[in-house]
Amino acid sequence: MCGICGHIRLPELPEGAATRLEPVLAGIAHRGPNQTGRWQGPGVAFGHTRLSILDLDERAGQPMHDPHTGNVIVFNGEIYNFRALRAELEKRGESFRTTGDTEVLLALYRVHGRDCLKLLRGMYAFAIWDAARREVFLARDRVGKKPLVYFEGPEGLVFASELRALRAHAHCPTALDPEALDLYLSLGYVPCPRTIYGGVHKLPPAHCAVYGAGGLSLWRYWDADYREKIDVSEAEAMDMAWDCLRESVRLRLESDVPLGLLLSGGVDSSLIAAVLAELSPGQARAFSIGFGEDKYNELPHAQTVANHLGLCLTHEIMPPATLEALPEVAARYGEPYADDSALPSLFLCRMARRHITVALGGDGGDELCCGYPTYRHAKVASALSALFPTTSPADETLRSLAAASGPLSGAWRSFASGSLWPETKPLLRAELKVRPAKNRLYTPATASALRRVHADWFLPWLRASYQHAGNPVERMLYIDNATCLPDDLLVKMDIASMAVALEVRSPLLDHELIELFARLPVGLKVKGGETKHLLKKMAEQKLPREVLYRRKQGFDLPIREWMAGPMRGFVQDALQAADPALGEHLRLDQAMAMAREHASGTNHKNILWRLVMLALWSRNR
């Protein structure tokens, strides 16, 4: 795993471009502490920081040159099927001087060009200087495991692995984007392709781009589709899923440094643990953390799984004092980010990194096989969908519903989002929970300007879900995979793990596994009142039932209780120290009032936590 950055302007770089890239390179040093590399050519400069995982020799460092073409690559990630791809290339007469995956990727581009993306099974963000075409080819993996952010201006295109690092460039835009702020307060994160800064963008998952003399062009090269189904029994589906999952885990065991597992005790990481124990009997190590509050503590379940599978489990209890790390967490994300599991994720990764350099994780199981309670509720709508047209509801209908007020409109919204169009719940119900708070917080001018931002962001995803899925459950699945998975969950793990130079691999996010589950009947994903049905049936063969069939906990902190109690002073101090520039859009006095109300018993948990993380971020932006 690594950090990458670059600057391109053709036909030549502006004077001092390489010097201005140095702070960006320094900003990604934590992602790759083993080796730093630089390269400059006509109109392009690349930087790279390396975390050595495969082929520890310095010859495998980057930027890496292709002696046949003059092409140069900077690459962050892992190509898990690189050995098979290398063997195919060798049959064509190709030879290699290193034993890792970077040189294979460079050769694949030489042979297949941009179509090389179709062959890759992995997580990646990379840039290749194409010497013949005099352009840079950029790409990001299918599900968005590895990030890539950039800005474009008169100085050319500048990109990096992290927004915080990119912000260190002298020409990076710094003006806050009010529409991104609005989406952050709705979602707890800033969705792709936006960032909190106007003019700075994230390359979306499953997208690639070319930057040359004509500027920047982007296109999507992959998408999940749930319409084409295969007719299989549950037993047949289980066999197919086991084969694909075992191969996914096996491929991710490739490492020249110590490897282990992040084990929560939930279905997903426990299923990975079972496969890992099967493939590496007596050798697998697992790492977990717990909390003092029983309601949030999954450590006993992780211990049960480890004992059952014969894993060596290393664990720690997360102390309340770790709240002191919140300003560090807020700064690391480079923009406001309010997933309250970010802090325990950082704590877990830091603990595991003392023992290993590579970890397997259970991310993606909920989005693979309908793991959230909302999928269960959508089964009612699946029955009703046979009685109603399956075309997407009109945008203006949904905008009107979202903006309506009064008891009758509330009842209609509940029916529409609960039974008729459950795919619209993020717009018709989830957004409405925070809208009164946003209206209270915004200055009058901002409130007027931002009234439809969330709808305008959400509705294109809703339309796409109708194009790629034929029932409400899988339309919800499509939306979750396109939005909160890459923009929230995977961002959290990338930043938390790379903060301590730990590489985390996610077998459940293998694109071949995703494509298999997309083709399976929806009844194998949600059956009766049980979500994640097929994964749980698979896990039953390896794990105790009491671990599998229990209430979903997640990896959260007791934020509501803490902000009303021991964190009360911390919350007020954070809001008081917020950057005054936020006052252009937010009434900070109302934020303080919400903090007092929460301490007195009114539940403002979601919006207040987002305001706290916003304030902490703003102090160092």
Task: Using the 3D structure, point to which of 220, 250, 278 is the last residue of a domain.
Answer: 220
Same domain for 119 and 195?
A: yes
How many angstroms separate the CA atoms of 473 and 354, rounded?
41
Q: Helix (H, G, I), strand (E, B), or coil: what is residue 198?
A: coil
Q: What is the DSSP string of 30-91?
A: GG-BSEEEEEEETTEEEEEEE---S--SGGG-SSEE-TTT--EEEEEEEETTHHHHHHHHHH
Same domain for 147 and 250?
A: no
Indicate the pLDDT class of residue 398, thresholds 50, 70 and 90: confident
CATH code for the domain of 331? 3.40.50.620
Q: What is the pLDDT of residue 124?
A: 98
Same domain for 565 and 540?
A: no
Is residue 114 exposed (0-12), middle (13-18) or buried (19+ Cβ within 10 Å)? middle
Q: Domain for residue 448, yes or no? A: no
Q: Domain for residue 9, yes or no? A: yes
Q: Domain for residue 315, yes or no? A: yes
How many angstroms separate the CA atoms of 201 and 208, rounded?
13
Structural domains counted in the chain: 3
DSSP category for residue 507: G
Same domain for 187 and 327?
A: no
pLDDT of 272 > 70? The answer is: yes
Indicate the pLDDT class of residue 148, thresholds 50, 70 and 90: very high
Q: Domain for residue 203, yes or no? A: yes
DSSP category for residue 322: G
Is residue 175 exposed (0-12), middle (13-18) or buried (19+ Cβ within 10 Å)? exposed
Closest to 41 in 3D by CA, of 167, 135, 170, 168: 135
Helix%, strand%, coil% for the chain, nearest 5: 50, 15, 35
Q: What is the pLDDT of residue 380?
A: 64
Mean pLDDT of 398-426: 76
pLDDT of 227 > 60? The answer is: yes
Same domain for 516 and 582?
A: no
Indicate the pLDDT class of residue 433, thresholds 50, 70 and 90: confident
CA atoms lying within 13 Å on the CB side of residue 164: 22
Same domain for 151 and 15?
A: yes
Closest to 426 in 3D by CA, of 449, 450, 404, 457: 457
Same domain for 591 and 511?
A: no
Rounded to 5 degrees, what angle do the CA atoms 224, 228, 234 make? 100
Q: Domain for residue 390, yes or no? A: no
Task: Using the 3D structure, point to which of 548, 569, 600 is the last residue of a domain.
Answer: 548
Mean pLDDT of 338-367: 94
Q: Domain for residue 185, yes or no? A: yes
Q: Domain for residue 413, yes or no? A: no
Same domain for 542 and 572?
A: no
Query: Any idea which of 23-32, 199-208, 262-271, 549-558 has the lowest mean pLDDT?
Result: 549-558
Q: Using the structure block, give the residue that is written with the tokens 């706290």.
A: 612
Q: What is the pLDDT of residue 545?
A: 85
Same domain for 537 and 621?
A: no
Backbone angles phi, psi at 327, to 5 degrees: -60, -35
For residue 102, the enclosing domain spans: 2-220
Same domain for 306 and 160?
A: no
Q: What is the pLDDT of residue 60?
A: 72
pLDDT of 378 > 80? The answer is: no
Query: Any idea which of 149-158, 388-397, 507-516 has the lowest mean pLDDT?
Result: 388-397
Indicate the pLDDT class of residue 556, thresholds 50, 70 and 90: low
Indicate the pLDDT class of residue 621, thresholds 50, 70 and 90: confident
Q: What is the pLDDT of residue 528?
A: 82
Q: Assess whether the previous peptide bond of 173 is cis (omega < 30° from 0).
A: no
pTM of structure: 0.94
Indicate the pLDDT class of residue 383, thresholds 50, 70 and 90: low
Indicate the pLDDT class of residue 128, thresholds 50, 70 and 90: very high
Same domain for 588 and 525?
A: no
Q: What is the pLDDT of residue 408?
A: 64
Q: Domain for residue 289, yes or no? A: yes
Q: Helix (H, G, I), strand (E, B), or coil: what is residue 124?
A: strand
Task: Using the 3D structure, point to which of 177, 195, 220 is the last residue of a domain.
Answer: 220
CATH code for the domain of 207? 3.60.20.10
Q: Helix (H, G, I), strand (E, B), or coil: what is residue 207?
A: strand
Q: Helix (H, G, I), strand (E, B), or coil: what is residue 366?
A: helix
How many angstroms separate the CA atoms of 507 and 509, rounded?
5
Q: What is the pLDDT of residue 390?
A: 59
Same domain for 115 and 166?
A: yes
